[in-house]
């Protein structure tokens, strides 16, 4: 049956295309990341307005360490600045911030910014904003399943919830090791639009499409 309007969905986004957006304009790849950060601000505000319950953003995967050192350093700095600047605003808006992924390989300044943002916004009820940094779903599952727990314990250790709707920008059509367990029954949406060009209107249209979809979860829905 179609998703009910009173359900607050968990939406996950693979934010892809920042580097290619910059290259298409004759700019170095890292120039796309600050523009992508502006898109994050727009989409978070739109998620609040649209009644999204949780929004999980893939900011930096475990595999992204393979990128040029200068680009990685710039991303780490940008993530730190984003958390420092946005956490007070998101706190006032009732947004809770949590970060998924490893922290032992992150710069100390970013680790401190993550901790401060999580503590400051811990009571937020309007939207749960989750940012995946140095994240691999396979690694998370392996770590959570180390002593063969039951399904409930495994889910608790993963520290997450089922994804209702996953969006990937930038043209690729794959999950790229993102929330593999949680996306078992997620609806999927792929767009050619690169992340810096993704607008509030694009996001609203995607959500409207999601809310029209029939989700039987392996069962049978009655014909209208």
- Model confidence over 45-60: pLDDT tens digits? 999 999 999 999 999 9
Residue 34 falls within a domain, yes or no? yes
Residue 221 falls within a domain, yes or no? no
**pLDDT band for position 5 (cuts 50, 70, 90):** low
pLDDT at 222 over 60: no
Q: Which two tokens stand for residue 196?
A: 């810096």
Distances in Å between the alpha carbon of 215 and those of 91, 172, 182, 185, 219? 33, 24, 16, 9, 9
Residue 153 falls within a domain, yes or no? yes
Residue 5 falls within a domain, yes or no? no
Distance CA 100, CA 201 (A): 27
- Please report where in the chains the tokens 């304009």 appear, as a residue: 25
* Sequence-ordered list of residues with C-beta below 8 angstroms from that of 97, at least 6 positions apart, any chain: 83, 87, 90, 117, 118, 120, 121, 124, 129, 130, 131
Residue 186 falls within a domain, yes or no? yes
Residue 161 falls within a domain, yes or no? yes
Residue 222 falls within a domain, yes or no? no
pLDDT at 218 over 50: yes
- Could you say which of 6, 16, 134, 197 is catalytic? 16
Q: Residue 214 catalytic?
A: no
Residue 224 falls within a domain, yes or no? no
CATH number of residue 93's parent domain: 3.40.1180.10
pTM for this structure? 0.92
- Could you say which of 18, 64, 104, 214 is catalytic? 64
pLDDT value for 224: 45
pLDDT value for 214: 85
Q: Which domain holds residue 156?
A: 10-212
Q: Residue 64 catalytic?
A: yes
What's the total number of domains in the chain? Answer: 1
> Taking a C-beta distance cutoff of 8 angstroms, is the pair 48, 203 a contact?
no
pLDDT tens digits, one per residue of 145-178:
998 899 889 888 988 789 999 999 999 999 999 9
């Amino acid at each position: 049956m179609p998703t009910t309007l009173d359900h607050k969905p968990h939406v996950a986004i693979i934010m892809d295309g920042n580097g290619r957006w910059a290259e298409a304009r004759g700019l170095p790849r890292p120039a796309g990341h600050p523009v992508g950060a502006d898109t994050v601000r727009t989409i978070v505000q739109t998620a609040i307005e649209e009644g999204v319950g949780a929004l999980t953003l893939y900011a930096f995967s475990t595999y992204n360490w393979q990128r040029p050192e200068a680009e990685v350093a710039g991303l780490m700095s940008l993530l730190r600045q984003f958390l420092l600047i946005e956490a007070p605003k998101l706190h006032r808006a009732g947004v809770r911030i949590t970060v998924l992924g490893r922290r032992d390989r992150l710069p100390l300044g970013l680790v401190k910014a993550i901790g401060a943002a999580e503590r400051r916004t811990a009571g937020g009820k309007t939207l749960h904003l989750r940012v995946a940094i140095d994240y691999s779903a396979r690694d998370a599952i392996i770590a959570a399943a180390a002593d063969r727990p039951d399904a409930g314990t495994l889910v608790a250790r993963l520290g997450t919830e089922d994804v209702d709707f996953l969006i990937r920008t930038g043209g690729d059509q794959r999950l790229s090791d993102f929330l593999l367990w949680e996306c078992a029954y997620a609806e999927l949406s792929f767009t050619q639009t690169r992340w810096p060009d993704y607008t509030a209107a694009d996001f609203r249209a995607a959500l409207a499409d999601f809310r029209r979809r029939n989700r039987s979860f392996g069962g049978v829905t009655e014909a209208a």
